[in-house]
Amino acid sequence: MNLPKGFLASGVRSGVRKKRPDLALIVSERDASNAAAIFTKNRFSAAPVELSKAALRRSGGRVRAVVVNSGCANAITGPEGTRAAARVRQRAADLLRCPPSEIFLASTGVIGVVLPDAKIRAALPDAVRRLSPGGIDAASHAILTTDVGPKVASATFREGSRRGRVVGFAKGAGMIHPDMATMLAFVMTDAAATPAYLKAALREAADSTFNAISVDGDTSTNDTVLLMASGRLGNEPLSAPADGEQFRRAVYDVCRELAWRIVRDGEGAGRVMEITVRGAATERDAKLAANAIATSPLVKTALAGGDPNWGRILAAIGRSGARISTRRVALFAGPVRLVAEGAPWPYRERDAARVFARERVPIIADLGAGEASATVLASDLGHDYVSLNADYRS
């Protein structure tokens, strides 16, 4: 797959990781692109997050290049970690002949280790030499940590008589929960759009995709989603909220596919719950209930075993803090009604077990308290999750 017009990418090995590619580079081919990003809300945000936030402010939402490393999060590393990240940024700026404020940084890996920036600075010239429109394959591999494989998605849209593209790639498998997660995502388009418009479109898409997934209830120090627009499509720049309905849908579709792939690739995951909570008094209540189900170890382990143990689901809702009507609550597993009006429904166990044996298990809970709703994707929790995380730093 090629990137949208105006973008190049590459992926190389710098030596931060022992055996695999660990450095990705994305470049806006002609000059800096308009861009917008959203970041982790973790109070211990990593050095690259803080530097990239500040750079976007200084540049007015312009990004010439993105430097991404795996193998080291460079988080909770104090001034030394900030200086290491800044040296990488300066080296990239020198190579690409642009201001440092147009270099966007992202890192993923072990927390509490200062970035070995000399290795990355030494590898950057090779990354520049290898840049190509088809470099997304190498770049998407270079950012992985515990992921089973790369996550890439694309969509098309029409803007007037022109057909444009949105392409994105991401990483993430653990430390996944709303307010983002241990995830990085980079989405690019050839459309022309203002930074403010891109910010609104990205927030709109992320609210129901990246911020509606959960693997283990933890959020990371490094989470970043970046949207860049090269303007090579030649359309009148999108700027007003009503502009570019098809474009916004394409951004949403790419984010949704990447979010699904992240949850499906949850560390050791075998199944994914699609949890829809409806009949809530407010959207906040719906999200409280959905996230309680998504993060319940008892629900997640039952899912891993294919066991339709619906009592665990209702127990999670009951402790969530959401307002519910215990006399009106209902619960479904796909088309199978499990609970109605707060009491067990006479369903057939084998029918429920058949739904819970699917790769994607739809759970619908009606709180009987209003009209609001929310949907969250969540993985199961099995033995492999413990195995992967028990020796993550080795």
Of 244, 264, 284, which closes a domain?
264
Of 264, 296, 326, which closes a domain?
264
Tell whether 181 and 62 lie within a shared domain. yes
Residue 386: its pLDDT value, please?
61
Percentage of the chain beyond pLDDT 70 is 91
Domain harbouring 255, CATH code: 3.60.70.12
Structure tokens of 306? Answer: 């294919």
Residue 181: its pLDDT value, please?
46
380 within a domain of the structure (yes/no): yes
Q: Which residues pair with 325 in a beta bridge?
A: none
Residue 283: its pLDDT value, please?
93
Q: Look at the chain and report how many structural domains it folds into.
A: 2
Residue 110: its pLDDT value, please?
86
Q: Which pLDDT band holds residue 382 (cuts at 50, 70, 90)?
A: low
Q: What share of the chain is helix, strand, coil (3-state, %, to 5)?
A: 35, 30, 35
Q: Which pLDDT band holds residue 390 (cuts at 50, 70, 90)?
A: low
Tell whether 252 and 291 lie within a shared domain. no
Residue 394: its pLDDT value, please?
45
Tell whether 84 and 136 lie within a shared domain. yes
| Residue keyed to tokens 């308290």 | 369
CB distance 103 to 89 below 8 Å: yes
Three-state secondary-structure class, residue 181: strand
**What average pLDDT does this structure show over 68-82?**
95
Beta strand extents in the chain (DSSP E only): 7-12, 23-28, 33-39, 62-63, 65-72, 103-110, 151-159, 162-171, 184-189, 213-214, 224-229, 272-280, 330-333, 336-340, 343-344, 360-366, 372-379
Tell whether 214 and 344 lie within a shared domain. no
Torsion angle of alpha carbons 391, 72, 42, 34, nearest 10°? Answer: -140
Tell whether 279 and 239 lie within a shared domain. no
Domain harbouring 371, CATH code: 3.10.20.340
2 within a domain of the structure (yes/no): no
Residue 239: its pLDDT value, please?
96
Tell whether 232 and 99 lie within a shared domain. yes
Q: Which pLDDT band holds residue 130 (cuts at 50, 70, 90)?
A: very high
**What average pLDDT does this structure show over 64-93?**
97
48 within a domain of the structure (yes/no): yes
Q: Which residues pair with 249 in a beta bridge?
A: none
Q: Which pLDDT band holds residue 210 (cuts at 50, 70, 90)?
A: confident
Which residue type occupies 346? P
Taking 80 as the threshold, does the pLDDT of residue 184 lie above it? yes
Which residue type occupies 11? G
Taking 80 as the threshold, does the pLDDT of residue 174 lie above it? no
Of 217, 232, 264, which closes a domain?
264
Tell whether 45 and 158 lie within a shared domain. yes
| Domain carrying residue 333 | 272-390
- Range with the poorest average pLDDT among 59-63, 178-182, 344-348: 178-182
Residue 269: its pLDDT value, please?
63
Tell whether 125 and 249 lie within a shared domain. yes
Per DSSP bridges, beta strands 184-189 and 213-214 are unpaired
Q: Which of 92-106, 178-192, 214-228, 296-310 has the highest mean pLDDT?
A: 92-106
Taking 70 as the threshold, does the pLDDT of residue 267 lie above it? no
CB distance 254 to 226 below 8 Å: no
Q: Which pLDDT band holds residue 192 (cuts at 50, 70, 90)?
A: very high
More confident residue, 212 or 310: 310
More confident residue, 183 or 44: 44
The values of phi and psi at residue 278, to 5°, are -130, 175
Q: What is the pLDDT of residues 224-237, one digit of tens each?
A: 899 999 999 999 99
Active site residues per annotation = 182
Which residue type occupies 224? T
CB distance 166 to 34 below 8 Å: no
Across the chain, mean pLDDT equals 90
| Residue keyed to tokens 């190509």 | 132
The values of phi and psi at residue 96, to 5°, are -100, 0
Tell whether 13 and 93 lie within a shared domain. yes
Q: Is 386 exposed, middle or buried (0-12, 13-18, 19+ CB in 10 A)?
A: exposed
Report which of 187, 221, 226, 203 is spatially closest to residue 48, judged by C-alpha positions: 221
- Range with the poorest average pLDDT among 108-122, 206-220, 276-290, 333-347: 206-220
Tell whether 260 and 276 lie within a shared domain. no
**What average pLDDT does this structure show over 271-288?**
94
Measure the CA–CA gap between 301 and 352, rounded to whole angstroms: 16
Residue 261: its pLDDT value, please?
84
Report which of 378, 390, 4, 382 is spatially closest to residue 189, judged by C-alpha positions: 4
Residue 173: its pLDDT value, please?
58
**What average pLDDT does this structure show over 85-99?**
98
Q: Is 385 exposed, middle or buried (0-12, 13-18, 19+ CB in 10 A)?
A: buried
| Residue keyed to tokens 């949207």 | 227
Residue 117: its pLDDT value, please?
97
Measure the CA–CA gap between 186 and 140, rounded to whole angstroms: 10
260 within a domain of the structure (yes/no): yes
Q: What is the pLDDT of residues 351-363, one digit of tens each?
A: 999 999 998 899 9
CB distance 286 to 320 below 8 Å: no
Tell whether 140 and 15 lie within a shared domain. yes
Taking 70 as the threshold, does the pLDDT of residue 392 lie above it? no
Report pTM. 0.83
Residue 202: its pLDDT value, please?
95
Give, as one character, the DSSP assignment of residue 196. Answer: H
Tell whether 190 and 299 lie within a shared domain. no
Angle at 302 between CA 296 and CA 307, to 5 degrees: 145
1 within a domain of the structure (yes/no): no
